[in-house]
Structure 1
Amino acid sequence: MKSRAFIILLFISGFVFGQSSQEIMESDLDKMKFLFLNKNYKGFSSFVYPKIIEMNGNEEKMIENMKASILKMENEGFKFVNIYFKDFNDAILKNNELQSTFTQVILMDTPKGKVLGEYTMIGISGDKGKSWKFIDTSGYDEKMIHSNFPDLDKRIVIKPKIKMFLEENNLRKKCSEFSGTELQSISPFTFKKTSVVILDNKSKETAEDGSYIASKVVRNTDNPCKIDFVIEEIQNKPKNMYKIGDVMHLELTGFENDVYYFILTRKNNKLVISDKFKVVKNL
């Protein structure tokens, strides 16, 4: 059985100016993640710290190694589902570079179930936070990182790696509360805010300032984390990646307190976006 619900995506116009260096870093991370999950490894490599590329020989060789490694994993039943970032630390200034650490969370399908991995990542900016490059430490321990990257500040801490099976029952319980709720996300590409209102068993159509999409939703009651919807209406958005009648699949893949992480795919399972919602209020 499936229950019916309705989702209204209200796209609020206006850019958010004066982003902090951390906001720009998080934006660059989201762009890098989007490129990686969509297997655009050339674009992804533009966010990789140059020394990592040098350690692989060159960019072409690094991309070749990535493709081979990921293909081998997929053939063995391992697949990236989602990636998100949390626990950002304040940046440290060292030799005219900003250096920051945070946690990368990787959710993977495996032959034995979904597995969560947590790893320290390092962000480095040589232009006062206007752009960032990243070091993924998942293949190294702290001693190896500081040995290979001697310019890192000694205060940079590489936390022990964590791997665990996803508690899917806990996630589904949390997803069942994902109703009668107003949430927000901010586009990593435009810094525009998106307000999302989830309502069960009724439709709400309203004209707000800016552009919005009204979408009819069917939630899977066996797995409330999975929500299918059809784009029914688009207003005031001439340049839009969707069109009327598009079938979309939204899956909530994790949560941290009042933040939900999700992936959005089209009918053909092509990834459109991986993002997060923050709960604003319960309606």
Structure 2
Amino acid sequence: MQRDLDKMRVLFLNKSFKRYAGFVYPKVVQMFGNEDKMIVATQSSIEKMEKDGFKFVNIYFKNFNKSVIKGNEMQTTFTQVILMDTPKGRITGEYTMIGISDKKGENWKFIDTSNYDKNFIFKKFPNLSEDLIINPKRMYPLDEADLKAKCSQFKNMELQTISFSGNKTSTIITENEQKEIFENSVAYVSNIVRDPSTPCKIGYVLKEINEPRTKFKVGDQLHIEITAYEDDEYFFISHMNDDKIIVSNQSKVIKKF
């Protein structure tokens, strides 16, 4: 499920709505009439939001609940956290997300409940188990000063990230260098470019790579923005120079030095 969530959120953040629609629960698609109508409605809604000064920054997930079986479906809920820029500053919204698999957990479809209340959800989707935990929505301003202070500590540590493929990546961060080591022994080494005034935005310049078949090359520049943290876990987006988001993920601190 985490693999499908990771793909879905990057597609959404990059506005690849046609491919994103493949992760939406079919009964949600039917509420719009068909997939094409849902895509048009999604695009129109986001265009209006951006015109009014609202923009999605990042999305991440937490608080995964135990799965339940209802009919031929595996069902579960968890919290979707949306970070958004608004005319009054960056805000955080927390909403229950529903994951459903009719293939014994191999593939998942999702219901975003951010626009629905609990009664509507169970009325519109009677196939859902009443044992599912659906929490009330929460919205609150992001404490940007606190996040900036946390970002300033983003060095002299080892982190672990799970990639889209499910492989683990170990990343060692120092003041001036980052080394990423993948499970398949591929390694990237980059110089780090930091600006103390914007510690949550960090630049990387690739200087070494031991995998000749990769699409990356020495001299490539990568930028990440740490958008949130919880305990010892950092949530971030990263992009190349064209500003297209290539990953939205999280890294957990496993060692400090």
Q: So what's the TM-score if we normalise by structure 2?
A: 0.95
Displacement of 1:242 = 2.2
Q: Which residue of 1 aligns with 2:248?
A: 274
Aligned length: 256
Q: Which residue of 1 aligns with 2:210?
A: 235
CA deviations 1:224-269 (Å, max 9, x no partner) are 111011112221241x242222221111111111111001011222
Query: Does structure 1 residue 121 correspond to structure 2 residue 97?
Result: yes
Q: Which residue of 1 aligns with 2:46?
A: 70
**Contact 2:160–2:168 (CA under 8 A) maintained in structure 1:** yes
Matches within 5 A, 1:198-209: 198-201=173-176
Displacement of 1:44 = 0.5
Q: Which of 223, 232, 255 is the aligned partner of 1:258?
A: 232
Identity over aligned pairs, percent? 51
**Contact 2:98–2:112 (CA under 8 A) maintained in structure 1:** yes
Displacement of 1:154 = 0.9
Computed over aligned residues only, the root mean square deviation of the Cα atoms, in angstroms, reads 1.8
**Contact 2:176–2:191 (CA under 8 A) maintained in structure 1:** no
Displacement of 1:209 = 7.3
1:277 and 1:204 mapped to 2: Cα distance? 14
What stretches of structure 1 of length at least 5 have no aligned partner? 1-24
**Contact 1:184–1:194 (CA under 8 A) maintained in structure 2:** yes
Distance 1:120 1:209, change over 3 A: closer
1:203 and 1:211 mapped to 2: Cα distance? 14
1:59 and 1:209 mapped to 2: Cα distance? 38
CA deviations 1:184-205 (Å, max 9, x no partner) are 10112x2121111111257889
Matches within 5 A, 1:98-247: 98-188=74-164, 190-201=165-176, 210-238=185-213, 240-247=214-221
Q: Which residue of 2 aligns with 1:55?
A: 31
Q: Secondary structure at the match of 1:172?
A: helix
Displacement of 1:77 = 1.2
**Contact 1:212–1:237 (CA under 8 A) maintained in structure 2:** no
Query: Does structure 1 residue 94 correspond to structure 2 residue 70?
Result: yes
Distance 1:56 1:279, change over 3 A: same
Q: Secondary structure at the match of 2:66?
A: coil
**Amino acid across the alignment from 2:140:** M
CA deviations 1:29-51 (Å, max 9, x no partner) are 11110111111111100010000
Distance 1:173 1:94, change over 3 A: same
2:75 and 2:216 mapped to 1: Cα distance? 38
1:258 and 1:146 mapped to 2: Cα distance? 35
2:184 and 2:210 mapped to 1: Cα distance? 10
**Contact 2:175–2:192 (CA under 8 A) maintained in structure 1:** no
Q: Secondary structure at the match of 2:126?
A: coil
2:177 and 2:240 mapped to 1: Cα distance? 24
2:243 and 2:200 mapped to 1: Cα distance? 16
**Amino acid across the alignment from 1:31:** K
2:48 and 2:211 mapped to 1: Cα distance? 45
**Amino acid across the alignment from 1:266:** M
**Contact 1:141–1:158 (CA under 8 A) maintained in structure 2:** no
**Contact 2:180–2:187 (CA under 8 A) maintained in structure 1:** no
**Amino acid across the alignment from 2:230:** E
2:32 and 2:179 mapped to 1: Cα distance? 53
Q: Secondary structure at the match of 2:56?
A: strand
**Contact 1:142–1:157 (CA under 8 A) maintained in structure 2:** no
Q: Judge which range, 214-223 or 43-52, deviates more.
A: 214-223
Q: So what's the TM-score if we normalise by structure 1?
A: 0.87
**Contact 1:265–1:272 (CA under 8 A) maintained in structure 2:** yes
CA deviations 1:138-173 (Å, max 9, x no partner) are 011000000000111111232111111100011111
